Structure 1
């Protein structure tokens, strides 16, 4: 897996500032991460950290953080956000399948369904190999991925979503989603209209590919890479996982 291959699937993050405005408020995943970090005085690694949505609040809690992402713009925005505070964060641009960090950590995590960017079996295995090299003995890896609900994936889906930014701009997003059963990849296209004071000011179109992984695949992936499952939740609220769960929130641990 190379930088170029990942870069072909990053249209969704072209405008880091706008992306941050849309998603920075989301904090449901923070509670579990904090619980697993506890009072660790050792550095913690966040993969696919984006604009620092979790890296920055974790550092505010006193944790030494390494924020890793492949996207230059997202990392630069995260750095700008953290510059006004004296936070212990090392932001680094790296491919998560080829991590080369100067530390080993008791906790590595990756949220925001970033796991779905690893589109092939090989890239998933490479991710776990890379994580394994940077985890301490019995260290934890926490990540989430959308649950493949077949009745939803079976049909072409068109939806419209309306969001408000800073009580000033309205964003209408039109989503088209088509699932390929052979590759287990969902092809998503979004057309966004940004309206301010009743006037259409921007129209954007982007696409993204998202790999879906089934529970038994996940079990194989963990075992074959030397991990054991600690918990599998259906959401970041620790709901019990079942066939209708929106997410698979995975807490796994490195075996000796």
Structure 2
């Protein structure tokens, strides 16, 4: 599977915004790690601008990058509504070609997990490094692989509201240890059991020492690693790895 084929869960930007309405832990963390006011900030896998817009509102020159044009259209609409001059561009994060470099590049929403192969990860980090100013920071998150949680296939149900209807969502998650990829499928049903379709996503897990080696390989120094966006210490059972990395010289 290619990264570009792994985007179907983002086909409804309005639903994405509803799902994450009120969640701002990552935004607050990033707002607390900004460079001097007026600096450039690049927000990778920016989606509908959930982080780009608050950073721009704080007085920064923001460039948001995403692969999904529908998400970018929604981000542009929100920026126009708020009168914020954010530049939103459709590009592959593995092949960035921006006219700006920045002292801060961020990538939230566990988007690091969209890079499914070693080559994908390498190309993305090379791309980030090319656009990060010397001594600049790259802040991103990725889910921490907890073996006990990934060992067995998981199937669970949730309920959501959509268009005034109560929707049953059945989630199935299966992990492949060799590829370190979790395959997730969501099936949706109306209250009477009528199928409403399904979507899926595949996510690569990277282990803590593996991640440290990968970052060093691309001349990033891991300054801090937290267990979540609130800044809790990283532990074996933490749900996330929130990484603050600095670009080393040269």
**1:228-249 CA-partner distances (Å, limit 9, x unpaired):** 0111000001111111100010
Residue 108 of structure 2 is matched in structure 1 by 111
Residue 236 of structure 2 is matched in structure 1 by 243
Q: Deviation at 1:165? A: 6.6
In structure 1, stretches of 5+ residues that fail to align are none
Partner Cα separation in structure 1 for residue 108 and residue 123 of structure 2: 18
Residue 211 in structure 1 maps to residue 204 in structure 2: yes
Q: Deviation at 1:38? A: 4.6
Q: Deviation at 1:20? A: 1.6
Aligned CA RMSD, in angstroms, stands at: 1.9
Partner Cα separation in structure 2 for residue 20 and residue 77 of structure 1: 9
**1:128-162 CA-partner distances (Å, limit 9, x unpaired):** 10000001111000000001010110001001123
* Corresponding residue pairs, total: 249
How high is the TM-score relative to the length of structure 2? 0.94
Partner Cα separation in structure 2 for residue 194 and residue 239 of structure 1: 39
Aligned partner (choices 213, 216, 241) of residue 220 of structure 1: 213
**1:6-41 CA-partner distances (Å, limit 9, x unpaired):** 231111111111122111321010122111115431
Partner Cα separation in structure 2 for residue 240 and residue 169 of structure 1: 41
Residue 43 of structure 1 is matched in structure 2 by 40
Change (3 A) 1:8 1:149: same
Partner Cα separation in structure 2 for residue 201 and residue 89 of structure 1: 42
Residue 254 of structure 1 is matched in structure 2 by 247
Q: Secondary structure at the match of 2:179?
A: coil
Matches within 5 A, 1:93-242: 93-164=90-161, 170-193=166-189, 203-242=196-235
Structure 1 contact 44–66 (Cα < 8 Å) conserved: yes
Structure 2 contact 35–103 (Cα < 8 Å) conserved: no
Change (3 A) 1:153 1:73: same
**1:112-142 CA-partner distances (Å, limit 9, x unpaired):** 0000000001110111100000011110000
How high is the TM-score relative to the length of structure 1? 0.92
Partner Cα separation in structure 2 for residue 72 and residue 85 of structure 1: 20
Change (3 A) 1:77 1:193: farther
Structure 1 contact 146–248 (Cα < 8 Å) conserved: yes
Change (3 A) 1:104 1:194: farther
Residue 26 in structure 1 maps to residue 19 in structure 2: no
